[in-house]
Amino acid sequence: MSRELPLAFTRTLLGWQVKYLRYFNKKLYKLIVAGEILMYDVITIGSATIDTFVKTEFCDMVKQKGKDCVTYPVGAKILVDELILTTGGGGTNAAVSLARLGHKVAFLGKMGLKYNSNMLVSELKKEKIDTSLIVRKKTSRTGYSVILDSLRHDRTILVFRGSNNDLRFNEVKIKKLKTKWFYFSSMMGKSFKTLEKIASYATKNKIKIAFNISSYLAKKGVRYLKTILKKTNILILNKEEAGMVVGKGKVEKLLKKLHKLGPEIVGITDGNKGVYVFDGNHLYYGKPSNINVVETTGAGDAFASSFLSGMIRKNDVEFAMKLGMTNAESVITHHGAKNKLLKYNGALRVMKGRPIKVTKKKL
């Protein structure tokens, strides 16, 4: 029997049927348990964090070097209006998003062995995400973020990267990386070198790559990123990050420059101004809905992962944009990067009730 079964068949076997398979076909059962015939739709690779949202009105906004900054009185004891504890990180956010949209998903990342990591793994399992690829070490410290909610419902994030920066290639279960897509999110340090090697593995094994660049990576510049970019199928980033990679300019110019680096499809998000996508021939523009924004953390992850979902399902840029924008808009109306991620049918209902307009022109 082929070690790479059709996805529909492997899905049927997965779940409660697998435990009974051992009685009828021990060889097949062992292959499934070992991960040798399991085919995922997407393996997300990236950060996993515990996120603490801190909301207080006891702060001011000031301009410093042309940027809006949040200030707090030195030496003061500040009352917190609200404290919310959730899980986050680009890798786990994308995994949950894709799983809720109906895909078979695994998460690959690195974390510790104590309470914070247990919380992350438990949540992933509840979402039916395969956690067998996660690298967990006693000496590792799980990533942590503190999100300071400002007066304008924007945020400042204090990030402790921890073991998110320390995923080594020799720790990855290469034989289990059987998937149609990799979704790369922000990885720094040794973890980025691991991403480069996995990108090469993807090319050799005809696995497609979606890459959601963060500001951490964008600041490194195009030379640092070019190894992965030339192997990337879908690239998603915001306008500020795009400027860091290829230099500031108008969106159309940024899209063309990024496309020349290798990606087949490039998407640039620009906050409340909308979303732009370029496929090498056409420029697509999506106008956002007029909604009440509560908190913007996780919006980029929601859009990028949902855009990928749309491309997997229909290979249609307009549909993918609408799905991505719908899910991102759901996320920013609540606290937490995962709380209001939509299921596929729910997203379709929202799209029908609140249509998002996408225009297309030759570029």
Q: Mind listing the pLDDT tens digit for each residue in 155-166?
A: 788 889 989 999
12 is in which domain, residue-wise?
1-37
For residue 183, pLDDT over 90 is answered with: yes
Helix, coil or strand: residue 169:
helix
Per-residue pLDDT reduced to its tens digit, 51-83:
898 888 777 777 877 777 778 788 888 888 888
Question: Distance between CA atoms of 234 and 81, rounded to whole angstroms?
Answer: 40
Q: How many separate domains does the chain show?
A: 2
Asked if 57 and 2 sit in the same domain, the reply is no
Alpha helices in 249-298 (DSSP H): 251-260
Pair (21, 99) in one structural domain: no
Residue 93 has pLDDT above 90, yes or no: yes
pLDDT at position 2 is: 43
How confident is residue 1, by pLDDT bands cut at 50, 70 and 90? Answer: very low
What is the distance of C-alpha 130 from the center of its chain?
Answer: 16
- Report the C-alpha gap between 112 and 146 in whole angstroms: 18
Report residue 220: phi and psi, to 5°. Answer: -70, -20
What three-state secondary structure class fits 235? strand
| Residue 128 phi, psi (nearest 5) | 65, 40
* pLDDT of 6 higher than 50: no
163 and 306 inside one domain: yes
Instruction: Enumerate residues 6+ apart whose C-beta is below 8 A from 129.
Output: 95, 96, 99, 105, 106, 107
Q: Are residues 3 and 59 in the same domain?
A: no
Q: How much is the pLDDT for 27?
A: 65
- Cα separation of 114 and 104, whole Å? 27
Distances (CA, A) of 298 to 47, 147, 271, 279, 291: 12, 12, 12, 25, 16
Co-location of 8 and 131 in the same domain: no
Residue 49 shares a structural domain with residue 12: no
CB 301 within 8 A of CB 339: no
Q: What does the mean pLDDT of the chain come to? A: 88
Angle between helices 317-331 and 344-353 (to 10 degrees): 90
- Please indicate whether residue 172 or residue 22 has the higher confidence score (pLDDT): 172
| Average pLDDT of the residues in 198-213 | 97
Sequence-distant contacts of 328-331: CB under 8 A, at least 24 apart: 328/269, 328/299, 328/300, 328/302, 328/303, 329/288, 329/289, 329/291, 330/302, 331/298, 331/299, 331/302
**Confidence band (pLDDT; 50, 70, 90) for 7?**
very low
More confident residue, 355 or 362: 362
Q: What is the pLDDT of residues 253-309, one digit of tens each?
A: 999 999 999 999 999 999 989 999 999 999 999 998 888 887 777 899 999 999 999
Among 272, 263, 123, 91, CA closest to 191: 91
Instruction: Indicate if 18 and 111 belong to the same structural domain.
Output: no
pLDDT digits (tens, 9 = 90+) for 21-50: 566 666 665 655 555 556 899 999 999 999
Name the pTM for this structure.
0.86
Residues 268 and 317 in one domain: yes
CA–CA distance from 354 to each of 185, 296, 325 (Å)? 29, 20, 11
93 plus 166 within the same structural domain = yes
Concatenated DSSP letters for 335-361?
A: SSSSTTPPPHHHHHHHHHHSPPPEEEE
Sort strands 358-362 and 282-286 into parallel, antiparallel or unpaired: antiparallel
Q: Which helix (H) or strand (E) holds 245?
A: helix 239-246
State whether 278 and 349 are in the same domain: yes
CATH assignment of the domain containing 341: 3.40.1190.20
Residues 216 and 171 in one domain: yes
Tens of pLDDT along 244-269? Answer: 999 999 999 999 999 999 999 999 99
Same domain, 277 and 321: yes
pLDDT of 136 > 50? The answer is: yes
